[in-house]
Structure 1
Amino acid sequence: MTTTSSRPAAPRAASTAHERIALLILLTAGFTLAVDFSILTVALPRIGRDVGIPTANLQWIATSYALCAAGFTLLFGRVADLVGRKRMFLIGMALLGAASLGGGLAGEPILLLTARVAQGLATAMVTPAALSLLTTAFPEGPARDRALGLNGALMAAGFTTGAVVGGVLTDSLSWRWAFFLNVAVAAVVLCLAPAVLRESRAAHRPRLDLPGALTVTLGLVAIVYGATSAGRYGWASPLVWACFTVAVLALLAFWLVERRVPNPLVSMALLRMPNVAWGNAAGVVAFATETALVFPLTLYLQEVRGIPPLLAGLSFGVLGVGTVLGGLLAPRLIGRAGARRAVALGFAVQAVATAPLALVGADSAWIVPLLALTFLGGVANLVAIVGYVVASTTGIPDGQQGLATGLVTLSQQIGIALGTPVLAAIVASGAASGAHGLLAGIRAAVLVDALACAVAAIIAGILGARTRSGR
């Protein structure tokens, strides 16, 4: 009796341990890719001197990565559905390791920029594949919510701490270690992942919609390039508007193609699902507001208060701690109130935490409130982020999870690309007004950020209420 009853328990324990290791691998990969978005920011001037890239062209180190990471996400998310998410994840991690090794060893501009392009493509492969492996490994409900909460917390922490890690590596070792770190992570993941990750793919494997893939990729690349160019040339630049015009035409062509092909890249039925539509729109705002807020606050700390760059970067550690806490709290809140209410509440609290920062002054008394409010805003922002991911992947068949998570990743990357140029333009318009203009521009940018959160809270509450499920 004892022997027979003890046998069923062993497979469950093994399965639990297996799932935990798989989750750890997926979370590690996601965190590493999130760090990559900002880890080179502080090191750009030194990279330019060492590799021979003029100051005017340093933006391409970041832009080349962002263009590929955002532009190809939807395509690779759908390809992962067709050829296998585990396979796409492993290919992407292998490419990330090889590209990072090339970037760390690069001695001339073309090699470094090629490595950054390859890193962006690897990110576009790995991120939706990892997220869809996560959503298909856990059933809808508390288990998946907890996994998504941890994923969101680590990704947001990666975005906010990447610049700090990059600064420490650059000052203590070399900027090249920002690349070599990825090589080590990729090697460990590639050793463990084949044994613990389970393959998943769509049951039916139709032909890839090549016209749809080309048009949507062109449109997304044009959007991101237009947004990043706006940060450099201003929103009135003909180049910026030419990019947005190309984006509109390409996405219109994509919509027409998708309506006519028998096996579209993106199912129109999926895009018409209310939770997918409002959820991803909320994702754009969630990532645009909190990541962009770092820009005016960094200017405030360094230019207005005169705090050294390293200390200014370290001060945003409270934001990282807040995001981790928010990722841990979000699943409980979603379990009680549903994803829609969690998104609305997250945005509302984020707006309340951000709005007082529009009153910052030049005196030192503002430092402690700034840190406290930034912490609270980070907690609330992660609640909104986890809520939108849960909403956008709920009710989606497993065969389309790669596409659904590709949309989730895409909304994240578009938000990151658009948010900072918008606030930078507001700060610049204030700074051009003369004395005390920089502080006025910073205040205006922060106020716009808070208003965007408030509007998102209202819209999430109204539009989300039309979904059939509270999740």
Structure 2
Amino acid sequence: MGGVARLRGRSLLVLLICCCSIFIVGLDTSALNVALPSIQRDLHASIQGAQWTIDAYTLVLASFLILSASTADRIGRRRVFQVGLAIFGTGSLLCGLAPSLGWLIAFRVLQAVGGSMLNPVALSIISNTFTEPRARARAIGVWGGVVGVSIAAGPVLGGLLVQAFSWRAIFFINVPIAAAALVLAGRYIRESMAAGRRRFDPLGQVLLITGVGSLTFGIIEAPMRGWGSTEIMSCFAIAVGALVGLVWWEFHHRDPLIDLRFFRSPPFSGAAAIALLAFTAQGGFLLLNTLYLQDALDFSPLEAGLAILPMAALMAVVGPISGRVVGRYGPRPSLTMGGLSVLLAGLITVIPHDDPPYSRLFVVYSLIGFGLGWINAAITNTAVSGMPNRQAGVAAGITSTMRQLGQTLGVAIIGSIIAAYVTEVAQTPAFMSAYHVSWAVIGAIGLANLVIGLVTTSHRAQRSALRNADRMGAAARD
């Protein structure tokens, strides 16, 4: 009994280490939004220049997630995880000391390189630590809740740190957490890697980074340069060409970076699509309501963050519950509940009204947090369940990349909608029109998530996934 208890305690400590690391990565994705005006003043930058402190991080993080995950599967997950913590902590320290905007952006790139080694690798470590299906689903539920909360709670913690200290504190707070996780990982996380020594796929890696990087850059710059501009269309053309080339190459390479047979599994394909859509809704929601609360209702950054707190709190509470439900009943109930909640939030808010009472805001924000909490744990568990352990990191990396792209896409889409309606002051009927249209988009995403979740978790889809897993297992043995 004592040995079992020690094993269980060690597993929970591994989960805690992984959750701490991913919390600081997610936090840095969203907390800096409320600090942009302070960065702009202190470093004498334009608002577009200050915005790139967020965009550079997003661009690099999205481009390197799958590469980092694949490398971890090959050379060791704990090793890559520790390197990521060291790079992320060093980058955070340098960001806090940055003397100018150019240096801050450069250090954010370094920070993102480290961050790309933490998100999918942490999930792969969890998947290989909790091998029993129900225990794995519960652990992934906790992890999924932390991922969502780190992003949703960013405006609250960012507002507190900026108001109490300065924008630099947002970076300094990462350093001791990364250092502690680095030491604990070396002591308690066992090394794991793919059973066979697979060859690197440099061309696949270049094509992937080119495709994802060009797509992400185009999404980020489109609201400012115009969706039909030559620069943006060129970015999208490069992205399409690189990703088409990647698909062709991966089908013909002996040891592909991404095993495209993953996508023959309807649950995995559905998880990837739902991850993209759910985080499009979350990214758009955070941008839209941060602007609405501060510009239309005249909230301070801290007050705006506190107003969104119901979303973060419910994501924290519901994530672990969803993990338990997935472990017992599969992902279908969680995906259904999540899609319905996001759809309902959109339907409530899209009804025209000039100034919604705070009770309406509380209900809507709660519904968004409730829905995304159910969805996040379900897509994470679906992505890694049934996949070979030797490529658990890549499977996790694909959905992590979809999350990052979704968040970027949500900001770009909602930002474009607002820019199309509002020219000067947000506190106008024009902004409210943009507000309602944006919420209609979020509601439509909830409907799409609901439909995809139902279709890809049906009995027929599950049988197809089992056949695909058997084929992959047989091919691996041969």
Query: Could you report, residue by residue, the CA deviation over 1:381-436 in whole angstroms, capped at 9, with x for unpaired residues?
Result: 11111111111111011101011111121111011110121122222323369961
Partner of 2:127: 135
Q: What is the aligned counterpart of 2:247 among 245, 255, 258?
A: 255
Query: Could you report, residue by residue, the CA deviation over 1:111-166 in whole angstroms, capped at 9, with x for unpaired residues?
Result: 21221001111111111111100111112522111111111111111101112212
- For 2:24 and 2:363, locate their aligned partners in 1 and report how far apart those are by CA, in whole Å: 27
Residues 300, 177 of structure 1: CA spacing in aligned structure 2 closer, same or farther, 3 A cutoff?
A: closer
Partner of 1:398: 389
- For 2:24 and 2:48, locate their aligned partners in 1 and report how far apart those are by CA, in whole Å: 28
- For 2:131 and 2:42, locate their aligned partners in 1 and report how far apart those are by CA, in whole Å: 49
- For 1:130 and 1:245, locate their aligned partners in 2 and report how far apart those are by CA, in whole Å: 33
Contact 2:82/2:182 (8 A) holds in 1? yes
2:3 maps to a residue whose letter is P
Contact 2:455/2:461 (8 A) holds in 1? no
Q: What is the aligned counterpart of 2:10 among 18, 23, 26?
A: 18
SS at match of 1:175: coil
Residues 386, 360 of structure 1: CA spacing in aligned structure 2 closer, same or farther, 3 A cutoff?
A: farther
Contact 1:428/1:438 (8 A) holds in 2? no
Q: What is the aligned counterpart of 2:439 among 446, 453, 456?
A: 446
Q: What is the aligned counterpart of 2:360 among 349, 366, 369?
A: 369
1:468 maps to a residue whose letter is Q
Partner of 1:416: 407
Contact 1:278/1:460 (8 A) holds in 2? yes
Q: What is the aligned counterpart of 2:462 among 434, 450, 468?
A: 468
Partner of 1:430: 421
SS at match of 2:153: helix
Partner of 1:126: 118
Partner of 1:238: 230
2:55 maps to a residue whose letter is T
Partner of 2:312: 320
- For 1:263 and 1:173, locate their aligned partners in 2 and report how far apart those are by CA, in whole Å: 50
Contact 1:430/1:442 (8 A) holds in 2? no
- For 1:154 and 1:64, locate their aligned partners in 2 and report how far apart those are by CA, in whole Å: 23
Q: Which moved more, 1:449-458 or 1:194-203?
A: 449-458
Does residue 1:407 correspond to 2:407, yes or no? no
Once superposed, what is the RMSD of the aligned Cα atoms? 1.9
Query: Could you report, residue by residue, the CA deviation over 1:146-190 in whole angstroms, capped at 9, with x for unpaired residues?
Result: 111111111111101112212211121121111111111111111
Q: What is the aligned counterpart of 1:211 among 203, 223, 239?
A: 203
- For 2:99 and 2:327, locate their aligned partners in 1 and report how far apart those are by CA, in whole Å: 51
2:462 maps to a residue whose letter is R
TM-score by length of 2: 0.92
Partner of 1:3: none
Contact 1:360/1:366 (8 A) holds in 2? no
Contact 2:69/2:121 (8 A) holds in 1? yes
C-alpha displacement at 1:71, in angstroms? 0.2
Contact 1:223/1:243 (8 A) holds in 2? yes
Query: Could you report, residue by residue, the CA deviation over 1:35-62 in whole angstroms, capped at 9, with x for unpaired residues?
Result: 0101211112222333343333112211
Q: Which moved more, 1:128-137 or 1:174-183?
A: 174-183
- For 2:312 and 2:285, locate their aligned partners in 1 and report how far apart those are by CA, in whole Å: 13
State, as a whole percentage, how many aligned pairs show the same letter: 29
Contact 1:280/1:388 (8 A) holds in 2? yes
Does residue 1:285 correspond to 2:277, yes or no? yes
Q: What is the aligned counterpart of 2:92 among 94, 100, 104?
A: 100
- For 2:385 and 2:431, locate their aligned partners in 1 and report how far apart those are by CA, in whole Å: 44
Residues 468, 412 of structure 1: CA spacing in aligned structure 2 closer, same or farther, 3 A cutoff?
A: same
Q: Which moved more, 1:107-116 or 1:244-253?
A: 107-116
Contact 2:79/2:191 (8 A) holds in 1? yes
Contact 1:98/1:183 (8 A) holds in 2? yes
Partner of 1:271: 263
C-alpha displacement at 1:250, in angstroms? 0.7
Contact 2:142/2:320 (8 A) holds in 1? yes
Q: Which moved more, 1:444-453 or 1:287-296?
A: 287-296
Q: What is the aligned counterpart of 2:28 among 36, 46, 64?
A: 36
Contact 1:323/1:382 (8 A) holds in 2? yes
SS at match of 1:306: coil
- For 2:424 and 2:90, locate their aligned partners in 1 and report how far apart those are by CA, in whole Å: 48
- For 1:408 and 1:132, locate their aligned partners in 2 and report how far apart those are by CA, in whole Å: 12
Contact 2:155/2:301 (8 A) holds in 1? no
Residues 433, 176 of structure 1: CA spacing in aligned structure 2 closer, same or farther, 3 A cutoff?
A: closer
Query: Could you report, residue by residue, the CA deviation over 1:178-233 in whole angstroms, capped at 9, with x for unpaired residues?
Result: 11111111111112111100111001112200000000111001111111112333
Contact 1:393/1:405 (8 A) holds in 2? yes
- For 2:3 and 2:336, locate their aligned partners in 1 and report how far apart those are by CA, in whole Å: 41
Residues 77, 450 of structure 1: CA spacing in aligned structure 2 closer, same or farther, 3 A cutoff?
A: same
Query: Could you report, residue by residue, the CA deviation over 1:68-98 in whole angstroms, capped at 9, with x for unpaired residues?
Result: 1000111111111000110000000000111
Runs of 4+ in structure 1 off by over 4 angstroms are 432-435
Contact 2:145/2:376 (8 A) holds in 1? no
SS at match of 1:205: coil
Does residue 1:456 correspond to 2:449, yes or no? yes
Partner of 1:48: 40
Contact 1:286/1:384 (8 A) holds in 2? yes
Q: Which moved more, 1:46-55 or 1:338-347?
A: 46-55
- For 1:336 and 1:12, locate their aligned partners in 2 and report how far apart those are by CA, in whole Å: 23
- For 1:174 and 1:432, locate their aligned partners in 2 and report how far apart those are by CA, in whole Å: 30
2:418 maps to a residue whose letter is V
SS at match of 1:372: helix
Does residue 1:305 correspond to 2:292, yes or no? no
1:332 maps to a residue whose letter is R
C-alpha displacement at 1:342, in angstroms? 2.0
- For 1:72 and 1:384, locate their aligned partners in 2 and report how far apart those are by CA, in whole Å: 24
1:452 maps to a residue whose letter is I
- For 1:93 and 1:146, locate their aligned partners in 2 and report how far apart those are by CA, in whole Å: 25
C-alpha displacement at 1:379, in angstroms? 1.1
- For 1:305 and 1:63, locate their aligned partners in 2 and report how far apart those are by CA, in whole Å: 27
- For 1:225 and 1:140, locate their aligned partners in 2 and report how far apart those are by CA, in whole Å: 40
Q: Which moved more, 1:237-246 or 1:410-419?
A: 237-246
- For 1:329 and 1:105, locate their aligned partners in 2 and report how far apart those are by CA, in whole Å: 40
Residues 388, 214 of structure 1: CA spacing in aligned structure 2 closer, same or farther, 3 A cutoff?
A: same
SS at match of 2:217: helix
Paired residues for 1:377-396 under 5 Å: 377-396=368-387
Q: What is the aligned counterpart of 1:358 among 340, 350, 357?
A: 350
